[in-house]
Structure formats: C-alpha cells, structure tokens
Structure 1
Amino acid sequence: MRKIFLLISFIILFSCGEEVIDMPNNLISKEKMIDILYDMAIINAGKTTAPQVMEERNFVPMQYIYKKYEIDSIQFVSSDLYYASKPLEYEDIYEKIEERIKKEKERFEKQNENKKDSLNQEK
C-alpha cells in the first residue's frame, strides 16, 4: 500500500496538464472507485484498531475488495494510476471519501449519544 501511495504521489508531482497515462480499457468508474477507496479506508482503520480479529478470521483485505467489486488487481492499479495522473479528479475522489467518512462518524456519534441517553433514562 505504501509503495502505491509513493508511486501515486510521484505521478501527481510530475503531472502537468497533459495526458500522463492513457485511459485503461477496463477503467473503473469514478463512483465505483470512490466506493472501493472508502472500503479500503474503513478496512485499514479496522486493521489498526483490531488486527487480531482480522488475523483470527484470515481476512485478506484486498481479496475481499476484488471479490466485492468484481475487479482484479491489475484493473484496480491501472485505474488508480489513471485517476492519480489527473490531480483535480483524484482530489475530488478523496474529498468525496472524506465527506462520506465524516457523515458516517457523525451518524455513529449520534447513535452512541442516543444509547447513552436511553441508558441514563433507565437508571
């Protein structure tokens, strides 16, 4: 994952306004890419929070992603590199992911608050 991030950063730094990378034939749609990268962010958060759970269940994150979205590693990497070669498009993708994560966080915080309120009322 770190190598991919470094490669993407390298592409972004050296891309001007020209087509750095040709569009792959099997390009993953922008909306699907947002979903994939969102899921990857959630999985990575889970790996840092409770890695033993994933180990116990033999959970392999990228296998799960590939199966869920019916893609393969080459399609994912080539699509990711293509979007990364377009900094404004890539920034938009990550802004949408960040917005989605914030909404989910707010939803969970509200649920926790409601649970605490109901527990306090029971006492």
Structure 2
Amino acid sequence: MSEKSNNSASLKVLGVIALLFGLVYAVVGTLVLMGLLEGLLPGHETQEIIVIVLAYAVALFGLICGIICIKGAMDAARAMGLVLAVAGLVSLVYAQFTVGSFNVIDCIGMVLGASIFGVARKSA
C-alpha cells in the first residue's frame, strides 16, 4: 500500500471521527442549554455567551472538517484541520480564563484538528 493511500485512509477515518465529534458536541451542548443535562460543559449552565458560541464553532468546524476529510480533499482538509485546532485552542483557553474550568471536549477538538492537519499535510 502506498503512502498516499495510507494517508487517504487515515484521513477518512479521522473524518468520520471528526463528524461524530461535531454531532455529539452539538447535541450535548444543546441539551445542556435546554437544562436537560447538568455539569458536563463548563460555561453552558451559566449561559456564558462567548463560551457557547466558541463551543458551537468547534462543533461546526468538526462537522465541516469531517465531511471534507471523507470526500478526500487534502488541501481543504489541511486548512479546516488547522481551523478546527485553532478554534479548539481558543475555546479551551477562553473557558479556562473565564469559567476557570478545563474543557476536555475542546481539547479533543484541538487534538483532532491537529491530527487532521498533520495527515493532510503529509499527503500534499
């Protein structure tokens, strides 16, 4: 198996993971905002607007990045992986400073975005 097909398969797997990540993060965020779940996402219970917007941005970028990775567009996947990693980092740092809590889900988004960026960069 060649290096390019290995990277393409890895990118598709990461794309499926990113797609599932984005869906789950958006659904859980919505359930927390509705008051059906408590204590899962820092800043959501107190209706901290910027934390919520950043969380939905990370979820949306995860969905978009997942779709792009599954389609196999390497250049777009590299760009969206970087965007997902930066959005996850910004959300993680902002939640740490404003709410005083570490958000594991944003950390997962950051690592997932960096992984997608790295795999897409190797194959370009």
TM-score by length of 1: 0.31
Higher relative contact order (CA 8 A, sep 6+): 1
| Largest Rg, 1 or 2 | 1
